[in-house]
Amino acid sequence: MALNAPKTDVILFVHGLSGTADGTWSKMIELFLRDNLFARYEIDTYEYPTSKIRVPLGRKMPGIPELAEGLASHLDTYHSKRENVILVGHSLGGLVLRYFIVSAFKKSAPNNIRAAAMIATPHAGADLARFGKTLSWGHSHLKQLVKGHGILSSILTDWASLEIETKIKTIYVTGGVDAVVSRESSMPYYGGVNFQNLINYGHVDVIKPEHSNDIRFKVLKKFVEELPSSKKPDAGPLKTQGWPLFFRYQLNCEDFYYIRRVDDDVEQALSGSNIWLSGPSGMGKTVALTRAIMKKDWSVYYFSLDGFLDLSAIDLMKEVCRQLMDRLCVSDAQLAAAISLAEVLRCFSSTFLSVTGQKRMAMFIEEIPIVSSKEYCKFLNLAYHLSMLQETCKDNLQVVWVFSSIVDPLEFSKQSHVKLLERYAFLNIGVWESTELQELFQLVDREVKTQFTAEETSQVIIGSKGSPRNLKLIVKNRLTEVGSKKSIPELISSVPVSASND
């Protein structure tokens, strides 16, 4: 290909936390520029202000939505005439481009987004950010990178509901020795994803190839080279069914959902009450609640709190309120000064009063990290007061509070919480029976065709230890090239202990 070929397409690189365009991507970009196969591609970068530490009264750090807006402006200014845009993001940069892509596909107008590569991206949050948020004052990047932050959940949910994987090509790359972003966080576990594990590299050096035969370059080069000539999905009928091994429920997954008695209980309870569902990890609490909410066509706001280990009960609720304000674009200035319970409740109330265009909304709170009995009692008291806020909302807005926890809250509900029983339906979800897991496996296997023998299937059922999530992870691992060569005991042992968390 001639070196002066017209630049019809662009590969745009987005750096991560505390990075710069040149410092992050210079080696990768140099190899792309040297390769004549990419002569038609403009190579560009998007740079934004970021650092690991923000001092008081220092320059404001824009959050992920603002960074995505900046990326949109960059592309509109410099690359609106390109036929195809390929986005490559490292760490926080991967979240920025995902937010941008989701926002683009929410609009009815066509776009030129062709593919996205996310390298060492903390889709579910990063542990380093948990420490960073206690060291850096007002640092929005670190706050939003904390595991469990609402914006991370909303990106994953929107990505799945919009079926982005069917509209563009994607690749997820993780470093095998990445101490910042876990494998589970860098791989969002939605069906059909292209996932590569560069086993010898960590969070920083995973994007710094040294030569043209370096796997860190070749993986990305191969991904771009193999993009089809059209942005449309591959030939064949587009599936409207969801992925059988789903972990976050969408309505198009209903054919692969195994209905248990607890599902009827949840649906009935949700029709007339707030609800609190408790039970062991990996039993499907989140999925059951999400399904019941979505079947009612309510707006749902997820809040996962497991990234906020050291916060008190009231500070956890302030974090929920802050995230809600972020999503509804409401200023949190009032919340920053709130100290008392009454002040926090007023912040929730004023936020609900700002809602327009929604009739019913579910506030879904899970992964409560409180271990102190005293603080848990306080949290239950807060849950009671939050349920009373309905009386302050506009007549055309119904707010339903939904909680999920491993701990049974009734263990902490003493005489002072008797009124709580009037405001919430408390339900428990138990370990799955072997027959239930067997039927779930059959439901899934009709589509994915694992080709397990009867004996292997029995081993999988036993190895799942009563957890549908464990069963799905074992099956998913079997479907990979590496997993197809493993024995059943090896597949079972490859399921991480933490994978059962709802």
Q: Is the same domain home to 486 and 415?
A: no
Structural domain including 490 reads 434-500
Instruction: Kindly state whether residue 249 falls inside one of the protein's structural domains.
Output: no
Instruction: Kindly state whether residue 40 falls inside one of the protein's structural domains.
Output: yes
Q: Is the same domain home to 68 and 152?
A: yes
Instruction: Kindly state whether residue 247 falls inside one of the protein's structural domains.
Output: no
d(CA 290, CA 300): 8
CA trace torsion 151, 373, 280, 250 (10° rounding): -20
Beta bridge partners of 360: 398
Instruction: Kindly state whether residue 236 falls inside one of the protein's structural domains.
Output: no
**What's 169's domain CATH number?**
3.40.50.1820
d(CA 111, CA 101): 10
How is residue 458 written in tokens? Answer: 């029995």
d(CA 303, CA 92): 20
Residue 113 exposed, middle or buried by CB count within 10 Å (0-12, 13-18, 19+): buried
Q: Is the same domain home to 172 and 307?
A: no
d(CA 464, CA 440): 12
Write out the chain's pLDDT in tens, 502 residues.
334 557 889 999 999 886 788 888 999 999 999 998 898 899 999 988 764 433 333 344 567 888 888 999 999 999 999 999 999 999 989 999 999 999 898 886 789 999 999 999 887 766 554 434 433 434 344 554 554 445 776 787 778 777 788 899 999 998 888 767 766 666 665 444 688 889 899 888 999 999 999 999 999 999 999 998 655 444 333 344 567 887 778 888 899 999 999 999 999 999 888 999 999 989 999 999 999 999 998 988 888 787 677 789 999 999 899 888 877 878 888 888 888 999 999 999 999 988 887 788 999 999 898 888 899 999 999 999 999 987 777 666 889 999 999 999 988 766 556 788 889 999 999 999 999 999 999 999 998 888 899 999 999 999 999 999 899 888 877 876 566 778 899 888 877 654 433 4
Instruction: Kindly state whether residue 241 falls inside one of the protein's structural domains.
Output: no
The residue among 225, 244, 274 that closes a domain is: 225
Residue 15 exposed, middle or buried by CB count within 10 Å (0-12, 13-18, 19+): buried
CA of 94: how far to CAs of 46, 64, 202, in Å? 12, 10, 16
> Do the beta carbons of residue 117 and residue 101 sit within 8 Å?
no
**What's 294's domain CATH number?**
3.40.50.300
> Do the beta carbons of residue 317 and residue 382 sit within 8 Å?
yes
d(CA 265, CA 278): 13
Amino acid at 44: D
DSSP string, 52-111: S---TTS-----HHHHHHHHHHHHHHHSTT-SEEEEEEETHHHHHHHHHHHHHHHSSS--
The residue among 225, 251, 286 that closes a domain is: 225
DSSP string, 295-346: HTT-EEEEEE-TT-TT--HHHHHHHHHHHHHHHTT---HHHHT--SHHHHHH
The residue among 197, 225, 253 that closes a domain is: 225
How is residue 379 written in tokens? Answer: 């949290």
| Residue 178 parent element (H or E) | none
User: What is the number of other CB atoms lying within 10 angstroms of the CB of residue 134?
Assistant: 8
Give helix 92-106 / helix 150-161 axis angle, nearest 10°.
50
Q: Is the same domain home to 159 and 18?
A: yes
Q: Is the same domain home to 465 and 423?
A: no
List Cβ neighbours of 463 (8 Å cut-off, separation of 6 or more): 470, 474, 488, 489, 491, 492
Instruction: Kindly state whether residue 79 falls inside one of the protein's structural domains.
Output: yes
How is residue 484 written in tokens? Answer: 């197809």
d(CA 491, CA 475): 8
Q: Is the same domain home to 328 and 359?
A: yes
3 state DSSP class of 354 = coil
How is residue 352 written in tokens? Answer: 């609900």
Q: Is the same domain home to 484 and 419?
A: no
Q: Say how many domains are in the chain.
A: 3
Beta bridge partners of 171: 117
3 state DSSP class of 403 = strand
